[in-house]
Structure 1
Amino acid sequence: MQQPVVYVGEWLVTPSVNQISRQGRQLTLEPRLIDLLVFFARHPGQVLTRDELIDNVWTRSVVTGHVVTQSISELRKSLKDGDPNAPEYIVTVPKRGYKLTVPVIWHTEEQEEGATPSSAPDTLPEATAEPPPESVTLRSRLNAFIVWGLFLLALGSCVALVALATLDSRPPITKTRLLLNPRDIDIHLVDGSGCTNRSTQHAYAVGLGSLITTTLNTFSTFMVHDKTNYNINEPSSSGKTLTIEFVNQRHYRAQQCFMSIKLVDNADGSTMLDKRYFVTSDNQLSIQNDLMNSLSDALTQPWPARLQTMLTQYQPAQSTSLVAFYQAHQLLMNGDVDSLSKASERLEEVLKHSPEFIYARAEKALVDVLRHSQQPLNDKQLAALNSEIRHLSDTPGMKEMAILYQIETVDMLSKGNVDEAYKNVNKSIDLEMTWMSYVLLGKVYEMKGQNRLAADAYITAFNLRPGDNTLYWIENSVFQTSVTRVVPYLDNFLAKE
């Protein structure tokens, strides 16, 4: 059976091979982008809302408006194909959705292959003589015999199938087809049991997962889901999986712990990256730098200059301070008052040993402003915190870091200044795509009375980092949120687990 193809403006779209082509130029797109384009082509000139696109194009467990926006952006870029004068194929209709604005012509692949019809002959052929009556009678009998033969064959097949179904009492096997998204990556942490200092190693692995997720989601076209806090075994539509595991192995005459990092392409099972690092007390920083460079090579994703600048602020000069920072960061992600207090103490110790570690200073301010939102600080502590926030905002390079605007968002929400909080949280998202910023965006939308947008932000946060930590933040950070009332979709999704 011939598959449909469609002309969308100048592009010929062939869904069966995930390709678009024009004037000898041929591009292969991700399946989700082809599906999105075909759905637009089936509704030319119509305004399609995000919800309509999610319901008809995506089959993922958790899909948000942000994913739709990113996919629309990628599709527009492909259709323009680097031509600044190309028409705008998909336009945004403010507060309504998106619309395809170019002509659409549907064909089948067979029609497309024979798109140039042969010229009609100048004269009609002469009429053939009518066959003799005997020939007509013989042909009619032959046709009747063929029809009856086919009928008896079909009847016999039906009887045979019924007999087989009666003999075979086994229930039918249903096969689920899962369409992989090649530019989606899941990060998993495999619990090892043979290494000592498990808590330190676990915090280091969680910190690496968080850094990789933020880096790729901000500076690449990959969509990364940090599942280091998510232990549910379920089918995933992500095209790639990165696993971090600590393993105890004999090295020379002693047992030594090493960290295994493996990146696998789920489409064909091939290994894209497989590295093992022997972890010592002073090499965690060099391991992190080597891992980031190795990921850049494996994913053919060169890091931009802004990332290089950011990484210098994200890490201290000493490996011991990096591990202690990741322990504090893990406590921050827990989100409860007790964990936040411990995180503040741990970060204070980090700054004593590494006073130049600018990001640790900023994270301590974020921890303290979150503590104040849940359990008010005394006047002396609050004055010191406000002084530190002002000092941070004047620190060179800090205005290019999302954490400054996360601090300002929480501070403004605590003071009831929703408009300033909204400006700051959007600045943080522009600079870095993190689950924490989307939780704060949801809080801002709740304060504005826009629960539908709040739900969208919360689901995006959970999609970026699913697990108990993110759920706790949604329910309790800054102020309490009723998941059942505000995010019923997420509540229903979790109820199925």
Structure 2
Amino acid sequence: MIPKTDVEQDSLRDGTRIGDWRLYPSLHEIRRDGEVVRLEPKAVALLVRLAERAGRMVSREELLDRVWPGVVVGDDSLTQVVIKLRKALGDQPRHPDYIQTIPKQGYRLIAAVEAPASGPDGAAPGAPHPRRAGTALVAGGVILAVLLLGYLALPGNREAEVATGGGADAAGAASAIGEEPLTIAVLPFEPLREGAEQNNLARGITADLVTDLSRLSGLWVISTHSVFGHDDGEGAAAAASARYYVSGSVQRTPGRLEAHIRLIDSGSGRQLWSERFDRPIGDLFDVQAEISRQVVRILEVRLTRAEHWRLAQRYTRNLEAYELFLQGQAALLVRQERENLNARRLYQRAIELDPTFARAYAGLALSYVADYRNQWGEDGEAALARASEMAQTALEIDPGIPEVYWVLGYIETQRRHHGQAIAHLETALGLDQSFADAYALMGGINTYDGHPHRTVKLIRQAMRLNPEAGYLYFLLLGRAYFFIDDPEQAMINLREALARNPANLEAHVYLAAAATARDDVETGEWEVDEILALQPGFDTEAWLATYPMTDAGQIRKLSAALASLGL
């Protein structure tokens, strides 16, 4: 039963108790047993409004009006503030003690709210004296302004604030832990020997390190790893935008693993930590865990008990299953029918060796989604249902893996259940605030729903977090710009996508449509030839049958552009 609150005023007094915490709105912080957590202003405004209506549902519309008065922002901005507020409170979305989500409606504060007893001068006991607090607040405001100016001076960070409407960015991540964020880039590890096995091992160690570090609230991780796939670039852009970066080289020799790992301060170029590993190949998982622990130790990242537990867990202890999984990942990213089937077989073999390998189930799910999306099988609906079963199995095995929620979101996107997809992606971001692909898929969904302006902001945020993500981010941007009626920017981004993946049919489709919008007949006709070479007998209506777009106006616009080219 939700306790009735006696707090009904327009703004709460410093010292108001909310569950185990006391809120100090004037200082932008919450306190508990000597622990002090700083909140960003929008998180304070959100918590105040929820506390004023404790026990009652507050609609998303009311919260948007209260937190962003006079400013039009998307629902995703509110979602991001809720995620950060939950993180600060130590709340769990699935089993909340503070903020309960009312699907498609709003949020409700379910913790008890108690007004503070008045102390001298009307202040809450233990709160700063009003005059001293005012002085401290002015000084704090000056310091905050200096820090903010310094933060905004970093490459790309002005745009980050615009892109998310005050949502998840490095400064926001810092507010949840009360200090400036530690920003770290994980560069692709270099295989010292040639061969698919060596490349897969290097990619796998890179991806696992990114996943480990991204799940820690004290770090903001910029990576080159992507669920969508990534380019094998040097990652210079990632390192340039991060305070620290990890790089390394690895090789597998008969029965052994050799690796050299370095942690660098990008500002000074100073090497903070370097270690060479020469271990039996069976120690691979222990080496991976040790690398993560050393990075956390050197950077003095403070971990919660849950984060310590997560860092100690491995996805599988079966080396052969892990190697099959890495091979499956490499095959899946080719995005061709034969390789997709091969990926499925590799995931299935990995699961036979380790039936609790959640990430292998998630990969298996994506192979079935690919059948549906690309119309590779006779029964697309059955393939999508199978994908959902595999993803749910992964979730039941380990509900703490962000990529699993991404896969669930991707499946619901194909079903055109976009609200459910966004909910899964919000959960993924709650687990990993640096999860670039979650922002990217949110961006794609916004275009499907007829909000391409929101897409641009979300994809720019994803690109900052994963500068080497590859062709798909450019495709999502180009698609959004086409529907925004900016065919010039659409063509720029679509050509970037095709430079990275010339065989992507969707990018050719949108480039043809954008060329038509610019009256560029030559490019349009060229792209028609490319489309028919990739898919002889291409039919727009049939292609759209499994396309997740739900905005009727956008479907008509795309269809008309392609029809003018004879497609």
C-alpha distance in 1, partners of 2:252/2:292?
23
Deviation at 1:274, TM superposition (A): 0.7
Report the equivalent of 2:359. 359
Cα separation, partners in 2 of 1:256 and 1:390, compared to 1, 3 Å:
closer
Report the equivalent of 1:277. 277
Deviation at 1:73, TM superposition (A): 3.2
C-alpha distance in 1, partners of 2:466/2:322?
22
Cα separation, partners in 2 of 1:211 and 1:483, compared to 1, 3 Å:
farther
1:66-114 deviations in Å (ceiling 9; x for gaps): 5964345367569x89xxxxxxxxxxxxxxxxxxxxxxxxxxxxxxxxx
Report the equivalent of 2:411. 411
Q: Which runs of 5+ in 1 are unaligned?
A: 1-8, 12-20, 40-53, 82-180
Counterpart AA for 1:440: L
Report the equivalent of 1:238. 242
1:287 partnered with 2:290: no
| Higher-Rg member (1/2) | 1
Deviation at 1:263, TM superposition (A): 0.4
Cα separation, partners in 2 of 1:366 and 1:351, compared to 1, 3 Å:
same
| SS at structure 2 position matched to 1:242 | strand
Deviation at 1:265, TM superposition (A): 1.0
Counterpart AA for 1:439: A
Report the equivalent of 1:59. 155
Cα separation, partners in 2 of 1:222 and 1:381, compared to 1, 3 Å:
closer
- 1:152-167 to structure 2, matched below 5 A, reads none
Cα separation, partners in 2 of 1:218 and 1:285, compared to 1, 3 Å:
closer
Counterpart AA for 2:493: D
1:73 partnered with 2:172: yes
Q: Work out whether residues 316 and 354 of structure 1, in 8 Å CA contact, stay in contact via their aligned partners in 2.
A: yes
C-alpha distance in 2, partners of 1:462/1:258?
32
1:212-249 deviations in Å (ceiling 9; x for gaps): 32333331333222237333656813221211113699
Q: Work out whether residues 335 and 472 of structure 1, in 8 Å CA contact, stay in contact via their aligned partners in 2.
A: no
- 1:459-474 to structure 2, matched below 5 A, reads 459-467=460-468, 469-472=469-472
Q: Work out whether residues 365 and 388 of structure 2, in 8 Å CA contact, stay in contact via their aligned partners in 1.
A: no
Report the equivalent of 1:456. 457
- 1:103-142 to structure 2, matched below 5 A, reads none
C-alpha distance in 2, partners of 1:256/1:213?
23
1:136-176 deviations in Å (ceiling 9; x for gaps): xxxxxxxxxxxxxxxxxxxxxxxxxxxxxxxxxxxxxxxxx
C-alpha distance in 2, partners of 1:464/1:258?
29
Q: Work out whether residues 259 and 277 of structure 2, in 8 Å CA contact, stay in contact via their aligned partners in 1.
A: yes
Counterpart AA for 1:466: P
C-alpha distance in 1, partners of 2:398/2:414?
26
Q: Work out whether residues 35 and 57 of structure 1, in 8 Å CA contact, stay in contact via their aligned partners in 2.
A: no
C-alpha distance in 2, partners of 1:391/1:257?
32
When the two structures are superposed, what TM-score results if normalisation uses the length of structure 1? Answer: 0.58
Q: Work out whether residues 369 and 385 of structure 1, in 8 Å CA contact, stay in contact via their aligned partners in 2.
A: yes
Report the equivalent of 1:444. 445
Deviation at 1:465, TM superposition (A): 2.3
C-alpha distance in 2, partners of 1:77/1:388?
34
Task: Indicate the larger mover: 339-348 or 350-359.
Answer: 339-348
Deviation at 1:57, TM superposition (A): 4.5
| SS at structure 2 position matched to 1:245 | strand
Q: Work out whether residues 439 and 458 of structure 2, in 8 Å CA contact, stay in contact via their aligned partners in 1.
A: yes
C-alpha distance in 1, partners of 2:452/2:278?
48
Counterpart AA for 1:442: G
1:221 partnered with 2:317: no
Report the equivalent of 2:185. 186
Report the equivalent of 1:210. 207
Cα separation, partners in 2 of 1:284 and 1:256, compared to 1, 3 Å:
closer
Task: Indicate the larger mover: 225-234 or 342-351.
Answer: 225-234
C-alpha distance in 2, partners of 1:307/1:327?
29
Cα separation, partners in 2 of 1:306 and 1:402, compared to 1, 3 Å:
same
| SS at structure 2 position matched to 1:282 | helix
C-alpha distance in 1, partners of 2:207/2:316?
17
CA RMSD after TM alignment: 4.5
C-alpha distance in 1, partners of 2:341/2:447?
26
